[in-house]
A and B are shown apart, each in its own frame.
Chain A
Amino acid sequence: MNSSYEPVSEAAKNHRQKRSEKLIKVQKEYRRLLGRKIAFLTGIVLLITFAVAYIITLGPLGMTIPQVYETLLARYLPGIFNMDEVFEQVVWNIRFPRIIGGIFAGFGFGICGCVMQAVLKNPLASPFTLGISSGAHFGVAIAAVFGVAIIGGEYLLIANAFLFAMLCSLFIVSLAALKGATSETLILAGIAVNYLFSSLSQLMAYFANDEQLRLMSLWGMGDLSAFSWSKFGLFVAIFVICTPILLSKARDLNLMTIGDDSALSLGVNANRVRMVTMMVSSVLVATIVCFTGTIGFIGLVAPHMARMLIGTDHRILIPASGILGACLLICADAVAMNIIGPTIIPTGIMTALLGVPFFLYLVLKGKRKEFWQ
């Protein structure tokens, strides 16, 4: 493209020389910023690895961080590392699944929130904007009050929550397919469905007895205690399918945030991308929510924090939102488990209690440049 701009006069040559010096300076600055962002993300991942071990040491059975790593490594390399039976029981079967579940859940909430904010072009969107959590809550309410569901026993609550969460998003997605998937339609339909299922849940609550009520309200607070190795199979499978799909849409999501017209003119079918990403993230969120209950704050806030720290390129923003979400959730969970002696406070409560001050600090102190206006 530059070839046709060969400068003729001496002055023009000087000007061009100066200009390319300027360009090299900007390019250097650009690479420096990019390097800093990647370094920051690597830092957070290292922090999580360290935090996992530290958080596992907390609790009634005292142990040290090296002991935790040793116990975990012994699972995979039995010849090299030794482990204590008691440690194995506590670390491997009780504390580790909970923290791994927390990392997955936080990561999922983070990336889904990030994707939904982009496709709905709305900074207030979160994984729960489309009424997914109220659908799931209604499923739990039905299971609690009537004790009926498709699958009985241990999986009763989880299966019911998942079923109704999916029902909810299916309703919205099909409505959007009929009426055109603009962000306004989706947000309005989501809010309407949210109200519908909230009042249905309240109707259930009105007729419920004390024990049923307690079950419902506990679920609404959100907790990580449902995770155990036996339940991870399906959970991980859905993550492995959904996450790459969302990441592969990162470039399209960049274009979606500048408006449908511009996205169309740059070759992106905005409505189709919106439908696909909504469906995929609905499945992902429904899967997490049916294990954890409502932990709404992470999905709203992790993408904003990531945007302030990393910028708006979704190729790096989506993973960053996920990593920050995971970090927030396990830290909040660690505090929730240990702050008042043997009592474990529900994770959802602690997430917001700790996250809100931190978030407000970032809003007030953060660089205005990197924050939506």
Chain B
Amino acid sequence: MPIIVNLDVMLAKRKMRSNELAEKIGITTANLSILKTGKAKAIRFSTLELICEILECQPGDIMEFVKE
């Protein structure tokens, strides 16, 4: 998929662990892992909003479009 999820980069920048973020968003670590590995087909605006709020970033910081 040409959309790359850079969530692990943002997590490293904020020195936050995956399970901590998952707990704060209210999703399972398995689902967060699906998102991180790029296996997810879609992301809800509500989830994106929470991720951006917790990591204090913009949607563009955690996702980027790379032409195939």
Do A and B interact? Answer: no
